Amino acid sequence: IIPTILFVIFSRFSIRQETRYMLLGNALFSDLVYLLFYTLSAALNAARIHLPEKACVLLLFLLAMACCGGLFTAVAIVLDTYIAILFPLRYVVLLPPSRTKKIIVLLWMCSGAFPGIFFLVLSSTHSFVPCVLEMCSVPVIVILALNGTNAVKLCFWLSTLVIFLCLSLIFCCYAILYFKTKQSGIWEGVCSRASVTFLMHNTVLFFHFFPLLALFVESLLCINVVIRLQTGIWVSLTVFNILMILPKVLFPFLYGLRYREISASLKSIVRRKQLRLVS
């Protein structure tokens, strides 16, 4: 469904000129890239095809870049909603299509620079010991890296800090939106559009951030030797193979298909209705 929604967004001029749809397309593209490369990694491990060290590092970098792209785009979507609701008259001036394209390019630059700096630090300190392993499995490498050098642990804590900063920014935006619009009457009724939208956003963001929080808690337990290495690997396998894949599967259904323009375009493609003259 993700390539189909992307086709609808990029093939319709009226849709791809709106900020929310461009950000939605960028988020879906990040998820698609992550799913493709992670599936490739899992398939290679299942076939017992061993990657060279440089290929393993490149695969890890692309996965980290796609993951960061999805995370930063989620923050951009929340900020877009924040500006659209609180500044509706200035929204078109603040976020025109030309500026949105620049923001998307900036998001990808940050998504590449953020893991790129960490990978350079790990490479310069010769801390890529797990990548020498024959199996280039992301969960295994993450859990073994936490038992590695101080440079690896420093990168892990910095990554955790960035994730919590993004989560705090999203929470603050939603809290301000709720208290600013509480007296406007749009929250009346459980099935009101504001309540459903708020619930949908929270569900999507919960599924995006819960795996990262679970991985953070599991990493703390592993670092403090509360759980064994084998248990940590099993928990990491569960987080990466199920919990981190689940939101990327649910995102196009909970978020993408909810837009009337996208759902109507998809229905017209599937049904292929023909126009008939009415006398």
* 86 vs 274, more confident: 86
Given this model, what pLDDT does residue 129 score?
A: 53
> How does residue 131 score in pLDDT terms, banded at 50, 70 and 90?
very low
Please say if the pLDDT value at position 21 is more than 50.
yes
Please say if the pLDDT value at position 17 is more than 80.
yes
Give the integer Cα–Cα distance in Å for 56 and 188. 52
Give the integer Cα–Cα distance in Å for 137 and 128. 14
What does the pLDDT look like over 90-108, one tens digit per residue? 888 888 888 999 999 999 9
Percentage of residues of the chain with pLDDT beyond 90: 9
What does the pLDDT look like over 26-54, one tens digit per residue? 999 999 999 999 898 888 888 888 778 78
76-84: average pLDDT: 88
* Residue 120's CATH number: 1.20.1070.10
Please say if the pLDDT value at position 112 is more than 80.
yes
Report which listed range, 39-48, 196-205, 230-239, is most confident. 39-48
181-194: average pLDDT: 68
**Closest to 51 measured CA to CA, from 61, 41, 37:** 41
Please say if the pLDDT value at position 181 is more than 80.
no
Domain that holds residue 103: 1-278
CB 28 within 8 A of CB 5: yes
Given this model, what pLDDT does residue 104 score?
A: 93
Q: How many domains are there within the chain?
A: 1
Please say if the pLDDT value at position 133 is more than 60.
no
Percentage of residues of the chain with pLDDT beyond 70: 84
Given this model, what pLDDT does residue 176 score?
A: 85
- Whole-model pTM? 0.83
> How does residue 183 score in pLDDT terms, banded at 50, 70 and 90?
confident
